[in-house]
Amino acid sequence: MRLDQRLIADMIEPGTRVLDIGSGDGLLIDHLFRHRGCDARGIELNMKLVTRSVAHGLPVVHGDADHDLAHYPDHAFDYVVLQRTLQAVARPREVLRQMLRIGRHAIVSFPNFGHWQLRLKLLLNGRMPMTAVWHTAWYDTPNIHPCTIRDFLALCAEEGYTVEQWMAVDEEGERAPWRRSIRLANLFGEQALFLLRRQGG
């Protein structure tokens, strides 16, 4: 399990109901079931990964964030998790709304487009920046909705979501030290991780 998946697992209360959107190989939900007693389920787009997960006894359905969340009832889960995917969905704001409709909490991680390397490369080269995190050419990238940490916070404010926790994380998933200043985190954090709650939720 990646280090940031451990950080996510630590955000989740034991014994709760969890939906992991984009559950991949199912490591997080498997961990949540085995070590935290959670009723953890997954949605995954890649059918090979779905089959592998189900063959490991994990409750995973084939589906995607943009189309399948609308079919879940309100308040069905305590946590809805979306790892490193928000920038790749067709309608990020709608996906967040759905997450906080069906879940009491949303846990969202995404690559931070405000990282200093990206800013510098764009400034110096005048070309779309390519880094270890953003490594696909603009015409091929699935990351159609990149945003910065400050962009995301603005959206949360606009939508009225309470940010319970946030942290900058480096590419390996290690927690980065920029926890006091959002501006510094936005400059130096490669990935961002948020725990949100709907207001009054």
As measured in angstroms, the least distance from the Cβ of 190 to other proteins is 33
Q: Round to the nearest angstrom and report the end-to-end CA distance of the chain.
A: 30
As measured in angstroms, the least distance from the Cβ of 58 to other proteins is 6
Q: Which is nearer to other proteins, 61 or 157 (CB)?
A: 61
Q: Which is nearer to other proteins, 105 or 115 (CB)?
A: 105
As measured in angstroms, the least distance from the Cβ of 103 to other proteins is 12
Q: Which is nearer to other proteins, 56 or 127 (CB)?
A: 56
What is the secondary structure of 56-117 as a DSSP string? Answer: TT--EEE--HHHHGGGSPTT-EEEEEE-S-GGGSS-HHHHHHHHHHHEEEEEEEEEBTT-HH
Q: Which is nearer to other proteins, 97 or 175 (CB)?
A: 97
What is the Cα–Cα distance from 41 to 19, expressed in whole angstroms? Answer: 5
Binding site for other proteins (CB under 8 A): 33, 39, 41, 47, 50-51, 53-63, 68, 71-73, 76
> If DSSP codes are grouped into helix, strand and coil, which group holds residue 20?
strand
> Cα–Cα distances in Å, from 193 out to 56, 110, 190?
28, 7, 10
As measured in angstroms, the least distance from the Cβ of 194 to other proteins is 25
The length of the chain is 201
> Could you tell me if 155 and 72 are in contact, meaning their C-beta atoms sit under 8 angstroms apart?
no
What is the Cα–Cα distance from 7 to 18, expressed in whole angstroms? Answer: 15
Q: Which is nearer to other proteins, 49 or 193 (CB)?
A: 49
As measured in angstroms, the least distance from the Cβ of 50 to other proteins is 6
